[in-house]
């Protein structure tokens, strides 16, 4: 049996379909994720809790019930990377 076949059996036939919701238990609570291209996808997971400015990040807060981790969230605007900057500079000539 190939890895792909055993993985399909492990997640269950009912979760084979694209965008099926899967529930994962973690230390902080339950997460609801999706199955994308035969991989579990979890979005918007808390990295840690805010301990104040210039302080190390604390443990993530716990939650009750299930946390929706099925949709990507928007990303904060960022400056272009140095390689992208070079490409932008070349275009301006």
pTM higher than the cut 0.75: no
User: Is the CB of residue 33 less than 8 Å from the CB of residue 24?
Assistant: yes
Is the confidence at residue 29, as pLDDT, over 90? Answer: yes
Residue-wise over 74-87: b if at least 16 C-beta within 10 A, else e?
A: eeeeeeeeeeeeee
Task: Identify the band that residue 19 occupies on the pLDDT scale cut at 50, 70 and 90.
Answer: low
């Amino acid at each position: 049996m190939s890895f792909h076949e055993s993985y399909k059996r492990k997640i269950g036939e009912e979760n084979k379909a694209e965008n099926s919701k899967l529930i994962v238990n973690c230390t902080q609570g339950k997460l609801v994720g999706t199955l994308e291209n035969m991989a579990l996808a979890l979005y918007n997971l808390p990295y840690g809790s805010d301990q104040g400015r210039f302080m190390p990040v604390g443990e993530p807060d716990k939650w009750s019930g299930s946390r929706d981790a099925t949709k990507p969230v928007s990303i904060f605007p960022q400056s272009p990377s140095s390689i992208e900057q070079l490409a932008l500079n070349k275009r301006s000539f």
